[in-house]
Structure 1
Amino acid sequence: MKPVFAKIFENSDAAVFAVKVIELPYFSTEFHFHQECQLVYVVESEGKRIVGDSIESFQSDELILLGSDIPHVWHNDKHYFELDRSQVHARSIALFFNPDKLVDVLACFHPGNKLGVVLARAKRGMKFYGAARNLIKGLLFEMIEKTGMPQLTVFFRLLEVLCETKEYELLAGDGYINTYKEKDNDRIDKVFKYVFTNFNKDIQLEAVSALVCMNKQAFCRFFKSRTQKTFIEFVNSIRIGHACKLITEGETQIANLAYDCGFNSLSNFNRLFKEIKGVTPSEYRKMIEAGSPLAG
């Protein structure tokens, strides 16, 4: 999960957009970023997702738009790596498009003010829900079935929906800046993988610091400067995201949630849940049962 720059188009001088279907035993990309915008529909899979400084659980039927140069990764839950690797367990559709070239093309027909606004928002990551998600994912499925002019027509319809919909939430914080440095890739990679695997256990700062050969004070400064979160904020975000997943799946005992997600205090769990999600675990569960849009 190191944040490396990724090249998407082989022929970057000509391509404006490309769509592809991903079918793997598990999602295997590293934490990375690229100039191209990326629209991702998760057909089948679940795990943890990082977009900039946003850290959440993800599951099937998720639709995310990523803007230029925002680091991101979808990392499957650990049981995926224990399944039969000859079987497909992670499926998604990804649409990539070059924002600068797209704006230039559309400028020949009409001003691209609305598209420019969407591209700016997407630099924080946009998660779609409701009717917009259903419409956009339907258009993505159409795109993979078509080529040439019919595919281009669907692409423009999809852009129109992106420009008009209000059914989305922004993921990364308002002030998020990509501050990752290539020389730090291995250290960040080790820390992320360790937390993803052990978030439901007692994680000692000394153990994580030793993992990357740093003392506690130096590690805390390093981690905050790269992720814009303290290490404990990062761990708690992973834990609360997992709690949301369990609530969505029908877990009703709040005390069980707290301990299953690595908290040793129910009061601390409740406090952090409300701090991160804006509602208590019980309120979140009621929103799930009512089918209300959720903030994360």
Structure 2
Amino acid sequence: MRPFLERLALPEDASWATLNRRLDGEIPFQWHHHPEFELTMTLNSRGQRFIGDHIGSYDDGDLVLVGPNLPHSWCSAEKVEAAKPHVALVMWFLPQWTAPLGGVFTELRAVAAMLARAQTGLQFSAATASSARPLIEELFTLPPDERLIQLLLVLTLLSRDAEAEPLASPLALPAPDKPVDRGRIDRVLDHVHRHYAEKLTIEALADIAALSPSGLHRLFLRHTGQSVTSYLARLRIGAACALLSGGTRPIAMIADDVGYDSLANFNRQFKAQRSVTPRQYRQRFRMGG
């Protein structure tokens, strides 16, 4: 399935949309993008999130803001409480909707600044997510007028989070292009994100895009600002970081899990991107630094 441009239908009585998504099975990988900002709180679920060229692990209470047209997906691994469903509380609002925030409403300049930072995605700190959780859960019970006020309260709270972390690199921001090129790059990115741990060749990816290898290189560089090889390495090392921080699996096995058949090459690529070895990364993560 190729990534798709998700088109959201607004309710008649609101200028933005919400979804209280509850799944007994799993949160499936659905690589997609849309013109709206998306604020998602994930509850009773653990797994991986994919945002642009970012791969990271998520846990109960994860709160992320995704910028317009930034490809993304969540993919669950397990529930926290097996008897309860995976829950995603999702809020979508258009960039046009937020335009007056920093101009007309001076008091909301911090919110406008946060939304600008969210172009590459933002993960909020555990403390801020915990504070926002009751506000977000209550938001879904309110009538439309009160729901809007509650959303502004949530965004204001989030804008004060000095520990919010960017997720994707600026290179992952979507580039405006012709529709046919958008379809080609989407097909390639979908395949790369689904199969990054496998052996991928430029020739095979070029076939997916219906281009020559050189044509694929130009298209990929124009949309992502980097080569296919560099993008793939970022995905693999990002996935390795999630595995290193989330368990005790041996490093050699993690290297194999994310697509490296050479531990030495994995260590070299990891240090080039993170400035530490995989072992040092795991130790630093456990120490909270």
**TM norm structure 1:** 0.79
Q: Is the contact made by 1:30 and 1:73 (CA closer than 8 Å) also made in structure 2?
A: yes
**More deviation, 20-29/118-127:** 20-29
Once the two structures are TM-superposed, the CA of residue 211 in structure 1 deviates from its matched residue by 3.1
Once the two structures are TM-superposed, the CA of residue 245 in structure 1 deviates from its matched residue by 2.3
Once the two structures are TM-superposed, the CA of residue 250 in structure 1 deviates from its matched residue by 1.3
Partner of 1:269: 266
1:212 aligns to 2:209 (yes or no): yes
Partner of 1:57: 56
Once the two structures are TM-superposed, the CA of residue 162 in structure 1 deviates from its matched residue by 1.8
2:39 aligned counterpart, secondary structure: strand
Number of residue pairs aligned between Structure 1 and Structure 2 = 279
Partner of 1:76: 75
Alignment of 1:141-180 (within 5 A): 141-148=137-144, 151-174=147-170, 177-180=173-176
2:22 aligned counterpart, secondary structure: strand
Q: Is the contact made by 2:221 and 2:227 (CA closer than 8 Å) also made in structure 1?
A: yes
Aligned partners of 1:90 and 1:196: how far apart in 2? 22
Once the two structures are TM-superposed, the CA of residue 279 in structure 1 deviates from its matched residue by 3.1
1:283 maps to amino acid: Q
Alignment of 1:11-160 (within 5 A): 11=12, 15-24=14-23, 25-27=26-28, 29-34=30-35, 36-43=36-43, 44-51=45-52, 54-61=53-60, 62-67=62-67, 69-76=68-75, 91-102=87-98, 104=100, 110-148=106-144, 151-160=147-156
Once the two structures are TM-superposed, the CA of residue 57 in structure 1 deviates from its matched residue by 3.1
2:111 maps to amino acid: L
1:218 maps to amino acid: G
Q: Is the contact made by 1:48 and 1:57 (CA closer than 8 Å) also made in structure 2?
A: yes
2:20 aligned counterpart, secondary structure: strand
Once the two structures are TM-superposed, the CA of residue 145 in structure 1 deviates from its matched residue by 3.0
Q: Is the contact made by 1:49 and 1:73 (CA closer than 8 Å) also made in structure 2?
A: yes
Aligned partners of 1:270 and 1:239: how far apart in 2? 12
Aligned partners of 1:156 and 1:164: how far apart in 2? 13
Partner of 1:2: 3
Judged with a 3 Å threshold, the aligned counterparts in structure 2 of structure 1 residues 110 and 241 are, in CA distance, closer, same or farther, namely closer
Deviations 1:167-223 (A, max 9, x none): 211223346652154213443343234333432232222222233333222222222
Once the two structures are TM-superposed, the CA of residue 28 in structure 1 deviates from its matched residue by 6.0
Once the two structures are TM-superposed, the CA of residue 246 in structure 1 deviates from its matched residue by 1.7
Partner of 2:255: 258
1:254 maps to amino acid: I
1:38 aligned counterpart, secondary structure: strand
Aligned partners of 1:202 and 1:28: how far apart in 2? 20
**More deviation, 237-246/17-26:** 17-26
Partner of 1:84: none
Once the two structures are TM-superposed, the CA of residue 106 in structure 1 deviates from its matched residue by 8.7
1:155 maps to amino acid: L
Q: Is the contact made by 2:22 and 2:87 (CA closer than 8 Å) also made in structure 1?
A: yes
Partner of 2:242: 245
One of 276, 286, 289 as aligned partner of 1:289: 286
Q: Which runs of 5+ in 2 are unaligned?
A: none
Deviations 1:59-103 (A, max 9, x none): 333321123x332220537x89xxxxxx99753111123454455
2:218 maps to amino acid: R
Q: Is the contact made by 2:5 and 2:33 (CA closer than 8 Å) also made in structure 1?
A: yes
Judged with a 3 Å threshold, the aligned counterparts in structure 2 of structure 1 residues 5 and 95 are, in CA distance, closer, same or farther, namely closer
Looking at both structures, which has the greater relative contact order when contacts are Cα pairs under 8 Å and sequence separation is at least 6? Answer: 1
Once the two structures are TM-superposed, the CA of residue 30 in structure 1 deviates from its matched residue by 4.3
Q: Is the contact made by 2:49 and 2:55 (CA closer than 8 Å) also made in structure 1?
A: yes
2:200 aligned counterpart, secondary structure: coil
1:200 aligned counterpart, secondary structure: coil
2:265 maps to amino acid: N
Deviations 1:265-284 (A, max 9, x none): 22221222233334321122
Aligned partners of 2:6 and 2:208: how far apart in 1? 25
Q: Is the contact made by 2:4 and 2:31 (CA closer than 8 Å) also made in structure 1?
A: yes
Aligned partners of 1:175 and 1:197: how far apart in 2? 20
Q: CA RMSD in A?
A: 3.2
Aligned partners of 1:224 and 1:108: how far apart in 2? 38
1:207 maps to amino acid: A
